[in-house]
Amino acid sequence: MPLKYPPPPGVNHARSQEGNKNQHFAEDQAAGIADGVAGVGGKLAEICVLFSDVRDFTTLSEKMPPEVVTTVLQRYFDRMVQAVHHYDATVDKFIGDGMMVLFGAPRASADPCGDAVQCALEMMRQLDELNVEFAREGLFQLTIGIGINYGTVTVGYIGSSARNNYSAIGDAVNVAARVEGLTKDLGRKIIITEAVVTKTGGRFNFDPLGTHNVKGHSPVNVWGIRTARVAPAAEEAEAVQ
């Protein structure tokens, strides 16, 4: 994961922002972003926000040399970003071993919630494949939690005029982060808010998990997920996510 540094004196700020775009967006998405997105400031948008986090990574990393930890994390992020870009989403930021992902910004999406849920399932599938590789190489297995929420946020280049990044801020972002934290308490890999369930209709097998308190917010209704729905004749038992 490339380190980000503010542009040195004399470097064109627009060029610095262009570099930031390439780090955040899928290739075709970065190329198509309108010039109007650049510049510090933001606008309101209805988007879906996904947070993911590797369980107990700090403890696991203590058992491995730093270079192995870095390699494991890079291979993990490579897989996750591949899934994210497949659904035309934006990696807002990496947070240690976690990720924040936006669906519906900067490019509008006709189905941000459906894309986010599908992406979460794909991330789990990619992780299963990666863990097979890790087991073959004698490396530790990774477990992740994913939280997804939908709502109105402010999106744009947030920060100072000298250094900023494309991001989203707002209550919907905070709730998504808190919901991801509930995966530990509820023993589920993926947890989704009612706002997302409402937007996706009956396309997925959701499990109601009740109303739960989240820090700094009123209680939220959350759901788990099994898989995308299949035709009744082909329905089989599905692994809970």
Please state, in angstroms and as integers, the Cα–Cα distance from residue 228 to each residue in 63, 107, 210, following that order: 37, 25, 21
| CA distances to 69, 71, 184, 213 from 66, in Å | 5, 9, 26, 37
pLDDT at residue 229 in the model: 58
The closest alpha carbon to 207, from 235, 103, 221, 115, belongs to 221
The CA distance from 241 to 237, in Å, is 12
One-letter amino acid identity for 130?
L
CA 222, CA 119: separation in Å to the nearest integer? 18
Per-residue pLDDT band at 42 (split at 50, 70, 90)? confident
**Cα(172)–Cα(178) distance, rounded to whole angstroms?**
10
**Please, which residues have CB within 8 angstroms of residue 89's CB and are 6 or more apart in sequence?**
26, 50, 101, 102, 103, 115, 116, 119
Tell me the C-alpha distance between 119 and 50, whole Å: 9
**Average pLDDT over all residues of the chain:** 85
Element spanning 186, H or E:
helix 171-186
Global confidence as pTM: 0.82
pLDDT tens per residue, range 209-232: 999 999 989 999 999 998 665 545
Question: 122 burial class (0-12, 13-18, 19+ CB within 10 angstroms)?
Answer: middle
Residue 150 to residue 176: CA distance in whole angstroms: 8
Residue 30 has pLDDT above 60, yes or no: no
Instruction: Give the pLDDT band of residue 83 (cuts 50, 70, 90).
Output: very high
The answer to whether residues 200 and 165 touch, using CB atoms and an 8 Å cutoff, is no
> Do 85 and 123 touch, CB atoms closer than 8 A?
no
Amino acid at 117: V
User: Is the pLDDT reported for residue 12 higher than 50?
Assistant: no
Confidence label for 29 from pLDDT (cuts 50, 70 and 90): low
Task: Tell me the domain boundaries of the chain.
Answer: 13-234
CA dist 74 and 240 (Å) reads: 27
Under the banding of pLDDT at 50, 70 and 90, the label for residue 6 is: very low
Separation of CA 198 from chain center: 20
- Per-residue pLDDT for 65 more than 90? yes
CATH class of 13-234: alpha beta
Residue 14 has pLDDT above 70, yes or no: no
Find the helix or strand (DSSP H, E) in which 121 lies: helix 112-136
Task: Determine which of 61-65, 70-74, 189-193 has the lowest per-residue pLDDT on average.
Answer: 61-65
Identify the pLDDT of residue 202.
Answer: 85
pLDDT in tens, 45-55: 999 999 999 99
Determine how β-strand 144-159 pairs with β-strand 190-193. Answer: parallel
Residue spans of beta strands (DSSP E) within 75-137: 90-95, 98-103
